[in-house]
Amino acid sequence: MGGERQRGEGRASGKLILLGEHAVVYGVPALAVGISRGLEARAWRVAARAERSAAPDARPGLDVIGRHTSEDATLAAAYAALLAAGEPVAGDDLAVRVHGDLTPGVGLGFSAAAAVAIARAVESLVHGGAAVPAVQARAMAWERVFHGNPSGVDTAAALLGGCIRYTRAEGPRPFDPPACFELCVGFTGTAASTAAMVARVAELRNAEPARFEAELAEVGGLVAQAIAALERSELARLGALLDRNQGLLAGWGVSTDAIDVLCRTARAAGALGAKLSGSGGGGVVVALVGPGGDDGRAATRVLEAWRRLGFGGFRTAVGAGVAEAKE
């Protein structure tokens, strides 16, 4: 295997934002959860060019589920920024491969999970361990190439998993709800660029600053109430807060017909609340279906109702000691 030596490995979770996407860009808190779907990265040194075999594994550079830096300029720029952040790492003889079960471009935090997994693998290879500040600095450098002005919530969720409250000023604050709860994730079938959706919200902010400020404050209140509801296991209350946040996001122009249909269908099938999750404009919807431990009946009803309309989805439980259940 010409020249393969030590390896570094890293994993990171995908994420769902339960409340506060877009508002978080302007300093308001968001509530996010890590999910068990995620990405894994391997990093290793390859032999000098002359000794290299033709094997794909001997090719330096980054490959993210079949997209290689040699063929993708944005990916190459993001990878270069990640390697250059903090204590720079030379990439000439470095090979990194990413694989996993996270769908890209739909609001599940693919880009941040890739960044964190790669940063962990590179740090482990070079330093024998992956300190959080170093991983975070590398991941944020990557995210800035893809998203311009990321709030950091996706990176924090990918790094920490579990439930987090996040603000730009204070960073992540993990918390543990006393009981687990179940979510359904529905795919609209279309992707949207996070940067484009963030720009759309910025236009609205410029056009209607007073309204936007008032709604930002409202989102901050929704997030505080949602954390309190989770801490008291008041899931019906949490569902109502999700619905209100969806109403505000629709008013900011980031919902779509498919998102509206998925939300309405989920509520009609028994979900306690539903909204887009992530940047919107397509991507995924998250529906709160209830506490864990009811054998997934509520989740099954929601997923079946979506499937009848041609939308795919999966369910995931959040909280201590739960594993994702796929449909």
Give the residue, chosen from 21, 63, 123, 215, that forms a contact with ligand MEV under the rule CB under 6 A. 21
Which residues make beta-bridge pairs with 10?
41
Residue whose CB is less far from ligand MEV, 106 or 305: 106
* Interface with ligand MEV, residue 316, by CB under 6 A: no
Smallest gap from Cβ 199 to ligand MEV, in A, equals 11
Cα–Cα distance measured from residue 193 to residue 9, given in angstroms and rounded to the nearest whole number: 29
Only one of the segments 74-82, 83-91, 145-153, 290-298 lies at the binding site for ligand MEV (rule: CB under 6 A); that segment is: 145-153
CB atoms within 10 A of CB 211: 13
Only one of the segments 6-14, 146-154, 203-211, 215-223 lies at the binding site for ligand MEV (rule: CB under 6 A); that segment is: 146-154
Say if residues 311 and 189 touch (Cβ distance below 8 Å): yes
Catalytic residue among 92, 101, 154, 257: 154
CB atoms within 10 A of CB 71: 11
Say if residues 23 and 40 touch (Cβ distance below 8 Å): no
DSSP state of 56: G
Residues 273-312 that bind ligand MEV (CB under 6 A): 278-279
Cα–Cα distance measured from residue 177 to residue 163, given in angstroms and rounded to the nearest whole number: 8
Give the residue, chosen from 34, 150, 177, 281, that forms a contact with ligand MEV under the rule CB under 6 A. 150
Q: How far is CA 35 from CA 104, 142, 160, 172, 314, in A?
A: 14, 21, 10, 16, 11
Smallest gap from Cβ 103 to ligand MEV, in A, equals 14
Say if residues 12 and 132 touch (Cβ distance below 8 Å): no
DSSP state of 45: E
Q: Which residue is nearest to ligand MEV (CB)?
A: 151
Q: Any catalytic annotation for residue 63?
A: no
* Interface with ligand MEV, residue 34, by CB under 6 A: no
Only one of the segments 17-25, 230-238, 256-264, 303-311 lies at the binding site for ligand MEV (rule: CB under 6 A); that segment is: 17-25
* Interface with ligand MEV, residue 37, by CB under 6 A: no
Cα–Cα distance measured from residue 315 to residue 74, given in angstroms and rounded to the nearest whole number: 32
* Interface with ligand MEV, residue 245, by CB under 6 A: no
* Interface with ligand MEV, residue 151, by CB under 6 A: yes
Only one of the segments 22-30, 85-93, 238-246, 287-295 lies at the binding site for ligand MEV (rule: CB under 6 A); that segment is: 22-30
Say if residues 183 and 318 touch (Cβ distance below 8 Å): yes
Q: Which residues contact 192 (CB under 8 A, 6 or more apart)?
A: 105, 279, 280, 281, 282, 283
- The catalytic residues are 154
- Given the rule CB under 6 A, which residues bind ligand MEV? 17, 21-22, 24-25, 107, 147, 150-151, 153-154, 194, 198, 278-279
